[in-house]
């Protein structure tokens, strides 16, 4: 299986130097693509240095911070053009553990017909470590709202730790996916549902970042609330 781990970065120089060697140590047959948005802290330079030791490490630099959603759309297209068969989303900030990625990959190997594996905080066995209570409440509330309005049967639809099969991604018109923040993950989950693929959730332990700062913002939360509400209304009143 030819797999690609896509890591979007904005000011993650301390984290990326720990994460990349760990991925190459523990994940077989993998390449890594870092999509950096002109981080002023020198993340790209750190990646270029790592490339000397890891030939499967790729870097794409975009001029300015353009959002998580657009970084992933870019990374998915990049990977599909190069015939990768599994495209993996992973945060740079060490919140997502490589050992959980191994479990997610194992699950995909057992059930090859699964199009989307979600590393989930909110299924049995999943949890968060050191996450502030207010962030946990926000995440749980957002996921409850999504479940009630969109009825997708997914417990952690905002999760950013995922494996997509290339087969599924080729069915999703990526240019129609417009959202940038958490709603990018929800919108992609909707698209996966529409493509009628099998989705499974694997429990993960999500750790709060220790270095760098979060890019979460009020605008990201507002975007998700507005879009989920619109999708929910469409579901109840238009498309059913």
Ligand X SMILES: Nc1nc2c(ncn2[C@@H]2O[C@H](COP(=O)(O)OP(=O)(O)OP(=O)(O)O)[C@@H](O)[C@H]2O)c(=O)[nH]1
Residues near ligand X (CB under 6 A): 8-10, 12, 35-37, 65-68, 71, 91-93, 95, 209, 214-216
User: How long a stretch of residues is the chain?
Assistant: 240
Chosen residue from 30, 31, 95, 165 binding Mg ion by CB under 5 A: 95
- Nearest by Cα to 78 from 15, 32, 21: 32
Nearer to ligand X, 67 or 126 (CB): 67
Closest contact distance (angstroms) between CB of 182 and ligand X is: 7
Closest contact distance (angstroms) between CB of 92 and ligand X is: 3
Residue nearest to Mg ion (CB): 93
Closest contact distance (angstroms) between CB of 185 and ligand X is: 9
Nearer to ligand X, 182 or 197 (CB): 182
H or E element at residue 19: helix 13-26
User: DSSP characters for 67-102?
Assistant: -HHHHHHHHHHHHHHTT-SEEEE--SSS-S-HHHHH
Q: How far apart are CA 42 and CA 218, in angstroms?
A: 26
Nearer to Mg ion, 9 or 31 (CB): 9
204 binds, among ligand X, Mg ion, none (CB under 5 to 8 A by kind): none
35 binds, among Mg ion, ligand X, none (CB under 5 to 8 A by kind): ligand X
- Nearest by Cα to 159 from 183, 137, 192: 183
Q: For residue 204, what are the contacts with CB-CB under 8 A and spacing of at least 6?
A: 96, 97, 100, 103, 104, 119, 120, 121, 126, 161
177 binds, among ligand X, Mg ion, none (CB under 5 to 8 A by kind): none
**Residue 85 backbone phi and psi in degrees, to 5:** -100, -25
Residue nearest to ligand X (CB): 214
Closest contact distance (angstroms) between CB of 113 and ligand X is: 29
Show contacts with Mg ion in window 34-93 (CB under 5 A). 91, 93
155 binds, among ligand X, Mg ion, none (CB under 5 to 8 A by kind): none
Nearer to ligand X, 9 or 120 (CB): 9
Signed CA dihedral, 47, 90, 169, 225: sign only: negative
37 binds, among Mg ion, ligand X, none (CB under 5 to 8 A by kind): ligand X
* The two structure tokens encoding residue 207: 């750790």
Q: For residue 98, what are the contacts with CB-CB under 8 A and spacing of at least 6?
A: 19, 22, 23, 25, 26, 27
Binding site for Mg ion (CB under 5 A): 91, 93, 95
């Amino acid at each position: 299986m030819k797999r690609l781990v896509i890591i979007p970065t904005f000011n993650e120089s301390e984290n990326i130097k720990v994460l990349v060697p760990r991925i190459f140590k523990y994940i077989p047959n993998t390449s890594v693509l870092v999509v950096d948005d002109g981080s002023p802290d020198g993340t790209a330079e750190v990646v270029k240095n790592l490339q000397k030791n890891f030939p499967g490490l790729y870097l794409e630099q975009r001029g300015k911070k353009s959002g998580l959603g657009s970084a992933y759309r870019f990374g998915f297209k990049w990977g599909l053009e190069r015939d990768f068969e599994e495209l993996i989303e992973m945060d740079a900030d060490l919140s997502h553990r490589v050992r959980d990625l191994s479990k997610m990959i194992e699950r995909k190997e057992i059930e090859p017909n699964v199009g989307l594996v979600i590393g989930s905080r909110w299924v049995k066995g999943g949890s968060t470590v050191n996450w502030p209570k207010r962030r946990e409440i926000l995440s749980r509330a957002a996921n409850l709202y999504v479940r009630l309005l969109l009825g997708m049967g997914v417990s952690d639809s905002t999760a950013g730790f995922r494996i997509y099969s290339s087969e599924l991604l080729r069915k999703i018109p990526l240019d129609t996916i417009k959202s940038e923040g958490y709603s990018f993950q929800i919108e992609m989950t909707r698209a996966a549902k529409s493509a009628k693929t099998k989705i499974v959730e694997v429990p993960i332990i999500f750790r709060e970042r220790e270095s760098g700062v979060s890019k979460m913002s009020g605008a990201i939360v507002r975007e998700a609330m507005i879009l989920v509400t619109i999708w929910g209304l469409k579901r109840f009143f238009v498309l059913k």
